[in-house]
Amino acid sequence: MNPLIVVTGGTKGIGRATIENFAARGFDVATCARNEADLQKLKTDIEQKYPAVRVFVQPCDFAQKADVLTFGRFVTALNRPVDVLINNAGIFAAGAIDSEPDGLLESLMAVNLYSVYHLTRALMAGMVAERSGHIFNLCSIASVVAYPNGGSYCMSKFALYGFTKVLREELKPHGVRVTAVLPGATLTPSWDGVELPADRFIKAADVADSIAAAYLLSKNTVIEELILRPQLGDI
């Protein structure tokens, strides 16, 4: 049986690049996103490209706790050990604290923190029981560097980074590795409409390669924090 990777927000950007990377390594995939048509296209593309790989898809709105828990049950019902969990789904919105729309903090926290918390809780018991597995949380440079007009986005990513550090300590004695991934500006649909050259950004495939390299280390070793930046620095 193939190993299993679970990737949230798998149809675009870093999520899609990570699925491509691990499918090429013979991993089956369980993934979710809001758009069911995009999920079905992803499933078809990956299974046609890698005939030995199976892709399991489930629509999910990560702003909704019920949807996140439903996806957790969907994965659990596969009755398979989760070898890798990539908590990738997230949203970005700029805004200064004094002027950003009311409710922005709540919406960003729901997707960028609470969804990760609930899905990880739903799946981590199986990893602990197997004494194996690797959890990657897609944080951000904004998790450690505050900037003007970062507002609620920075707060949500700082909180995710804190959650990841606690998770690392709690799972350390159970054989489950935990890595915080902190990419700088990465060329994904979040940057659509921004007039900057592509070489000013990290490639999503480079983030996926870095995640795979961290996973492929021996079980004796964990990269606790993986920081990636554009060669020319932050945007």
The average confidence (pLDDT) of the chain is 96
Q: Is residue 29 part of a domain?
A: yes
Q: Is residue 132 part of a domain?
A: yes
Instruction: Please list, residue by residue across 35-59, b when 16 or more beta carbons sit within 10 angstroms of its beta carbon and e when fewer do.
Output: eeebbeebbeebeeebeebbbbbbb
Mean pLDDT for 206-225 is 98
First to last CA, the chain: 43
Q: What's the number of domains the chain is made of?
A: 1
Q: Is residue 235 part of a domain?
A: no
Q: Is residue 12 part of a domain?
A: yes
The percentage of residues in the chain with a pLDDT greater than 70, rounded to a whole number, is 100
Q: 168-209: per-residue pLDDT in tens?
A: 999 999 999 999 999 998 978 777 777 788 888 999 999 999
The residue behind tokens 């957790």 is 72
Q: Is residue 189 part of a domain?
A: yes
What's the domain range around 195?
Answer: 4-228
Q: Is residue 234 part of a domain?
A: no
CATH number at residue 52: 3.40.50.720
Q: Is residue 219 part of a domain?
A: yes
Q: Is residue 153 part of a domain?
A: yes
